[in-house]
Structure 1
Amino acid sequence: MDRQATIVEEDNIEAKAFIDLFKVAPQTFQNQVHFDCVSLGGGCAISLPSAPAIGLNRILGLRSVDDLHIAYEWMRKKHGRRYLQLNAQAASAKTREWIETRGLPAHGAGWAKLRREAPLAPMSHIGHVLPRKVTVDEAEKFGAMMCAGFGFPESLTPLWSAIVGKKGWTCFFGELNGEPIATAAMYASNGWAWLGGGTTVFRARNRGAQKALIAARLNEGAAQGVKTFVVETAQPSADETNVSHANLLTSGFRQIYTRMNYLLPEKS
């Protein structure tokens, strides 16, 4: 068995979140931007060519070479910069050989995968930013703010707006002086939760918004019966620190592995 299988649920809940993101996205949006997703082997392959983020153009959570091959052939037909993500250190020799045979280069320092158990008591956060849940009638504002924070094109607003109020999803604003300045989301299923969508508009950064939103999601997840939380962020390096990584460690998360991003060849 592939040693990649030693970490299963931590990747499965992330894949489930993105599969559900695809399912709740409006059909008109899917058609307009060629948004597509396929679920297999506990993971998925997802493609949204106009999105600059790796997270929306990747193969994730697959643990067999057969599944990797199916996903790879599916993804080869898609446009944009596409990636294969996996824990290279835990992958079997067969999986590493499969990657080498196709000449897939590693891209950047990779992603840090972090995990923590639910807090035993509600977490508090001292600061001026106050988190609150997003209401359904604020969905478009939430989607637009997330796009602005991450530098996504405005055309992707309907994608992130679609998760507000949907089963399994809880979305938050971080407010400063009563004005939303940050976003965050949580997807929960079967005692696990994936955290994502954490961003702050540029003018209000370094005010503690993301620490407040991490605590809010941990408290909300625990109230919903979540036992384990997972999250990903860019792997820090000697040349480049990562504030998000530091905030997560401060909030009780621990890194469980580094996931490499392998760049797929351009569509021929």
Structure 2
Amino acid sequence: MDSCSSDYPCPTKEDAIEAKAFIDLHNAARGQLADEERFECISMNGGCTISLPSAPAIGLNRILGLTDSEDLDEAYNWMRQRLGKRFLQVNTDAASDEVRRWIQSKGLITYGPGWAKLRRTTDAVSLPSAAAVKTRKVRPDEAQVFGAMMCAGFGFPESLTVLWAAIVGRDGWSCFYALDGDTPVGTGAMFASGSFAWLGGGTTVPSFRNRGAQKALIQARLQEGADRGVSTFVVETEVPSAEKTNISNANLAKMGFVHIYNRSNFLL
């Protein structure tokens, strides 16, 4: 069901582009992953619910962007039939009383620190200057290597290499390497639709961390997006806290991203 209206409001544009990215990731990889992986996704009123039980990541096992209790009921019932840990992501500060009551009625409890949503516009400030660490686009014949690097960086099983390999060269996606000489040492991806783009897939091999790879990859994607007519970029990190350093959040802030809201993760 995809029919946003006054009775069924759409998610924010920042959540909608993120949902589009994960729906397209599913479309790209669903025919290539083994059936036993049970990779499933449904689109609902600008949001989505997605399940990949073997992926140890909230992003691939969650309900995202739903703002109505009827949609939440449908997504909740669907997710309860899936395996593994499953989550609901909601900006509780902006949620309606109806949605808050729905969460309470299900007895859902928060899990972890939540996610911070950050945004940057192309014209907010000038694009960053060229980074010291070099980057380049991933070539189609490197898709498997890119996928393997992403899996290693996120702690995914090797069986999910094809998940990330599937987006290399796909319409809407731009995939990048950070380089040490000619050797890839970091990855980054961008999904663009219309004037919005979502950034994800940022990993760096342990021996090359804290040397500017991620900032270089952010810069490369900002430039790529600007060249493609993107006006707004969005990304998520774990909510920062005084007790835990969040390098990703700090790097994004240095590159002109600003915090706009937090989403809580509720364990289903």
Q: Which residue of 1 aligns with 2:40?
A: 36
Tell me the CA shift for residue 160 of structure 1: 0.1
Alpha-carbon shift at residue 176 of structure 1 (Å): 1.0
Shift of 1:122: 4.4
Cα distance change, pair 193–28 in 1 and its aligned pair in 2 (3 A): closer
Aligned to 1:150: 154
Residues 28 and 179 of structure 1: CA distance in aligned 2, closer, same or farther (over 3 Å): closer
Partner of 1:59: 63
Pick from 49, 56, 62: which aligns with 1:45?
A: 49
Which ranges of 4 or more aligned residues in structure 1 deviate by more than 4 Å? 4-7, 119-122
Equivalents in 2 of 1:133, 1:126: separation in Å? 15
Structure 1 segment 3-14 matched on structure 2, within 5 A = 8-14=12-18
Give the RMSD, CA atoms, in angstroms: 1.7
> What is the alpha-carbon distance in structure 1 between the residues aligned to residue 75 and residue 142 of structure 2?
36
Match of 1:72 among 62, 71, 76: 76
Q: Identify, as 1 or 2, the structure richer in helix.
A: 1
Q: CA deviation at 1:126?
A: 3.6
Structure 1, gaps ≥5 residues long: none
The alignment partner of 1:240 has SS state of coil
Q: Percent identity?
A: 58
Contact 1:26–1:158 (8 Å) recurs in 2: no
Shift of 1:255: 0.5
* 2:111 counterpart (107, 110, 116): 107
Residue number in structure 2 paired with 1:123: 128
Q: What is the CA–CA distance in structure 1 between the aligned matches of 2:95 and 2:263, rounded to whole Å?
A: 11
Distance between the aligned counterparts of 1:140 and 1:7, measured in 2?
34
Does the Cα contact within 8 Å between 2:11 and 2:66 map onto a contact in 1?
no
How many angstroms apart in 2 are the aligned matches of 1:19 and 1:126?
A: 32
Tell me what 1:173 maps to: 177
Q: Could you tell me which runs of 5 or more consecutive residues in structure 2 were left unpaired when the two chains were aligned.
A: none
Counterpart position of 2:142? 138
Deviation at 1:117, TM superposition (A): 0.2
Alpha-carbon distance, 1:239 to partner: 1.2
Q: 1:263 to 1:37 in 2, by over 3 A?
A: same
The CA deviation string for residues 129-152 of structure 1, in whole angstroms up to 9 with x for no partner, is: 211000100000000001111111
Deviations 1:47-68 (A, max 9, x none): 0000000000000011111111
Identify the residue that residue 100 of structure 2 maps to in structure 1: 96
Structure 1 contact 144–154 (Cα < 8 Å) conserved: yes
TM-score by length of 1: 0.94
Distance (whole Å) between structure 2 residues aligned to residue 204 and residue 28 of structure 1 = 31
Match of 2:254 among 247, 250, 256: 250
1: CA distance between counterparts of 2:68 and 2:101?
A: 13
1:123 to partner: Cα distance: 2.7
Shift of 1:109: 1.1
